[in-house]
Structure 1
Amino acid sequence: MNTLGDKALLPAGLQDILPPAAAHEAGIVERLIAAFAGWGYERVKPPLLEFEEALLSGPGQAVAQQTFRLMDPVSHRMLGLRADMTPQVVRIAGTRLRNAPRPLRLCYGGQVLQVKGSQLRPERQFGQVGAELIGASQERADAEVVLLAARALEAVGVQGLSIDLNLPPLVGALAKDLGFDALQSAALREALDRKDAATVSQLAGDRAEPFLALLRAAGPADEALVELESLRLPSAADVELDRLKRVVGLIRAEAPEVSLTLDPVEHRGFEYQTGISFVVFARNVRGELGRGGRYDAEIADGSSESCTGFTLYMDTVLRSLPKPDVARRLFAPVGTPVARVKALQAEGWRIVGALEDGADARTEAKHLHCSHVLIDDSIEPVDASLETEEE
């Protein structure tokens, strides 16, 4: 027989979110979506499950190993439970909204489930909120999504933002120019992701210096750009570097207070990115608040369009915010006029209504965790030692 303790046990990486944390998270999600909407981004709501081949195509390939799969008893086809919402938004843009005017601005918010957590994010289920700018290849599009992420986070109270800019294609372009094959390039990229200069030197031999110079260039964006401009890079990398420099200028012009850093060799988590990408951090907060960047998305006719966007991770975002204020809960006795209740709610009170007449109002209010009680139409604190807010 299952005990109550057995029923409360949840799989690793999953948890119940209780009051007031659940309401706090939902409120922050809606405020982020509202911030996106203020800049013209319209909300979409994809399903939790999709056919596997659709969910894991394009950007979805990057999370294939993190995706739960199950058989659909209706269609007898394999389904995937989303591990990331970006591929779903890309599918919507390329199919249902393929004829919508470009650039197309979409945003979303919802829960995702992954096969396993990481050291920094042990949770397997968590909320994502994000925005995608579809069919826009301009430098201003790159700057827009970086600024949108920063503005939205600042709007909900996140302080001390730092944005780390990346160029995921840079290492591959340099390795190809220096004559490394695909396996050698992959090994170099892995070592560079670990910031392992010794292994880079061992793998690249007498061709290691350009890669080591990229490692040394990581740091504050302005200084890193000067360092990168002094390097001999292949023409394809030079084009991306020039673009990055202009994007940094656009961001600086509109948000000089945001700290910008640059890591030209970071590739982890950017497997499908094709251009300028970024990770968002906040001072004194463990883990990343979100990440995004440029990628190519397939549309229904088989062609592709250039896109850029970002995803924010609600577990980290919430860690960067102060704890929610305790709601003002007011116990109202049976018979309290509806008009009075509505007026109190308009003032910000959470009304807890009595279910029985004649019970001691103050005792019942304390039992139900109300800070105040309505007695003879007067608001009084449950704890008599507190000052009365309203006579």
Structure 2
Amino acid sequence: MTVDNPSLEAILPKGVKDFLPIKAAKIEFLQNTLLAVFSRWGFRPIVPPSLEYLEVLERGLGTGLRDKTFRFDDRQSGKLVAFTPDITPQVARIVATRMKDVPLPLRLCYTGRVLRHTEQQVGKDREIFQAGVEMIGLDSPEADAEMIAMAVECLQALGAKEFTIDVGQVEFFRGVMADQRLPDSLAAELRGAIARKDSSSLKALLETAPLDDRAREEILALPRLFGGREVLEKASHVVTNDRSRRALDNLATVLDILTVYGVEDHVTFDLGELRGLDYHTGLTFQGFLTGIGRAVCLGGRYDNLTARYGYPAPATGFAFNLLNLLFALDRELDAVAAHQTDVLIFQSGSNKECAQQIARALRAKGYSAARDIIARGLEESINYAQKMNFRFILCAGENREELELINLADQSRRKLAYQEILAEDFAL
């Protein structure tokens, strides 16, 4: 059926995409590579559902994600259901309700799609491809370091050349602000200025804030506390409260472990990073590829999440945004997207039994083989095979003995006997 309506070129809602074979092959490579790394670190796959009851899902969502959740009435139950905007709360629910008798720690991994409402802007994805891990039951710097080291290994396995893992610690900020009795509106403005690294706005806000000089000095230093190992030493001279100092001790221990793993050169610190302040309970991190402003992975410690489902347990984890990875590594992934099918089998005449048997024999040997079922000449089939990235075309006549294998890379040809293909040592 031919569709003449040009408006059907834009039949998808904003924020979702079709992925044709080349892009789809790249996404599949990203998923498979990440899952292979997760498996090497001892993580086992889990598959949450696409739909959840809203009242259950919302227990594990922060305010930001609640506002981005797609929800609708379920005709069967009469309740509100939702497409999850993030997989981590689903894993927390599963652990708390289905796996609470399983010995800790739990190492779980997943891939999947989530949906989120977004602002109506060009380029904003509403459908997000995630691949991530959750470690439940360990409250230790080593567990935090393991997350970062694994994220580094993932990026290396994907072929990323230049990247950094920016590490923060929300307890450092909480320690600085804990004893300051500020109006909520002013506190929000201060957090915004710190997050933007806007030192001039921060200084202006602090001039009229009801704070002593020491507190002003600590808060004003936050946007400047980013860089390498030296940031931890610098921060130790800025803060005096025990809570912030414990956060620094945590980061120092994590860095020592990352040095053992040999990945410390990829790590930077940002003690003014406030992402996930209402969700995370300790170390946080983001992965960035050089020249790309969007984070390709987000992670950190979230010790209070499973407790919302009745099962208190410390937890840490991270997730890759596969579409951000695809954007960042698109050219580097061209080689993996150039999927080749081994053999296109062409047979003239009306009796196709020989070609069908050859296809079956090749597949049994582990080769990919497709029949050129359309009635056309050999040159047309060769042209098709080249465009569709086949390695070889195998020409069969109605006589079983008349076989010719054409290498499409160099156009070389060799004669084959039918029995050769059936032999155990046959190779293309």
- 2:393 — aligned with what? 373
CA contact (8 A) 1:141 1:308 kept: yes
Q: Distance in 1 between matches of 2:63 and 2:104?
A: 25
Q: Distance in 2 between matches of 1:148 and 1:71?
A: 40
Closer, same or farther: CA 365–276 of 1 in aligned 2, 3 Å: same
Say which of 25, 28, 52 aligns to 2:27. Answer: 25
Closer, same or farther: CA 256–327 of 1 in aligned 2, 3 Å: closer
CA contact (8 A) 2:298 2:319 kept: yes
Per the TM alignment, residue 158 of structure 1 is displaced from its structure 2 partner at its CA by 2.3
| 1:202-217 paired onto structure 2 within 5 Å | 202-205=204-207, 206=213, 207-217=215-225
Q: Distance in 2 between matches of 1:147 and 1:120?
A: 34
SS at match of 2:67: helix
Per the TM alignment, residue 186 of structure 1 is displaced from its structure 2 partner at its CA by 2.3
SS at match of 2:21: coil
Say which of 239, 259, 262 aligns to 1:232. Answer: 239
Q: Distance in 1 between matches of 2:184 and 2:319?
A: 29
Q: Aligned partner of 2:24: which letter? A: A
Q: Distance in 1 between matches of 2:372 and 2:309?
A: 61
Q: Which deviates the most, 204-213 or 373-382?
A: 373-382
CA contact (8 A) 2:255 2:264 kept: no
Q: Distance in 1 between matches of 2:231 and 2:147?
A: 22
- 1:320 — aligned with what? 328
Say which of 78, 89, 96 aligns to 2:80. Answer: 78
- 2:181 — aligned with what? 179
Closer, same or farther: CA 61–306 of 1 in aligned 2, 3 Å: farther
Per the TM alignment, residue 287 of structure 1 is displaced from its structure 2 partner at its CA by 1.3
Closer, same or farther: CA 311–121 of 1 in aligned 2, 3 Å: farther
Identity %: 28
- 1:297 — aligned with what? 305
CA contact (8 A) 1:192 1:215 kept: yes
Q: Aligned partner of 1:106: which letter? A: L
Q: What is the RMSD computed on CA atoms of the aligned residues?
A: 2.5
Closer, same or farther: CA 118–8 of 1 in aligned 2, 3 Å: closer
Say which of 254, 259, 266 aligns to 2:273. Answer: 266
Q: Aligned partner of 1:314: which letter? A: L
Per-residue CA deviations over 1:199-248 (Å, capped at 9, x if unaligned) read 2112222442212222222112x121111111123111111111111101
Mapped pair 1:352 → 2:366: no
- 2:45 — aligned with what? 43
| 1:249-288 paired onto structure 2 within 5 Å | 249-256=256-263, 258-288=265-295
- 2:363 — aligned with what? 342
Q: Distance in 2 between matches of 1:38 and 1:127?
A: 22
The structure number with the bigger radius of gyration is 2
Q: Distance in 1 between matches of 2:120 and 2:161?
A: 25
Per the TM alignment, residue 20 of structure 1 is displaced from its structure 2 partner at its CA by 1.9
Per the TM alignment, residue 272 of structure 1 is displaced from its structure 2 partner at its CA by 0.3
Q: Which deviates the most, 290-299 or 178-187?
A: 178-187
Per the TM alignment, residue 286 of structure 1 is displaced from its structure 2 partner at its CA by 3.9
SS at match of 1:333: strand
Q: Which deviates the most, 334-343 or 107-116?
A: 334-343
Per the TM alignment, residue 257 of structure 1 is displaced from its structure 2 partner at its CA by 5.8
Q: Distance in 2 between matches of 1:224 and 1:328?
A: 49
Q: Aligned partner of 2:72: which letter? A: L
Mapped pair 1:90 → 2:95: no
Q: Distance in 2 between matches of 1:163 and 1:120?
A: 28
Per the TM alignment, residue 68 of structure 1 is displaced from its structure 2 partner at its CA by 0.8
Q: Distance in 1 between matches of 2:325 and 2:158?
A: 9
Q: Distance in 1 between matches of 2:194 and 2:119?
A: 23
Q: Which deviates the most, 291-300 or 276-285?
A: 291-300
Q: Aligned partner of 2:131: which letter? A: V
Per the TM alignment, residue 339 of structure 1 is displaced from its structure 2 partner at its CA by 5.1
Closer, same or farther: CA 275–249 of 1 in aligned 2, 3 Å: same
Closer, same or farther: CA 168–301 of 1 in aligned 2, 3 Å: closer
Closer, same or farther: CA 32–390 of 1 in aligned 2, 3 Å: farther
Say which of 156, 159, 164 aligns to 2:158. Answer: 156
Per-residue CA deviations over 1:255-308 (Å, capped at 9, x if unaligned) read 236411111111134530010010011223341110100012234873522110
Q: Aligned partner of 1:342: which letter? A: R
Q: Aligned partner of 2:222: which letter? A: L
Name structure 1 gaps, 5 residues minimum: none
CA contact (8 A) 1:366 1:382 kept: no
Q: Aligned partner of 1:16: which letter? A: D
Name structure 2 gaps, 5 residues minimum: 208-212, 348-353, 397-402, 416-428
Aligned length: 383
TM-score by length of 2: 0.82
Per the TM alignment, residue 356 of structure 1 is displaced from its structure 2 partner at its CA by 4.4
CA contact (8 A) 1:161 1:282 kept: yes
- 1:310 — aligned with what? 318
- 2:132 — aligned with what? 130
- 2:7 — aligned with what? 6
Closer, same or farther: CA 257–169 of 1 in aligned 2, 3 Å: closer
SS at match of 1:304: coil
Closer, same or farther: CA 323–5 of 1 in aligned 2, 3 Å: farther
Mapped pair 1:331 → 2:344: yes
Q: Aligned partner of 1:373: which letter? A: I
Q: Distance in 1 between matches of 2:395 and 2:365?
A: 14
- 2:107 — aligned with what? 105
SS at match of 1:208: helix
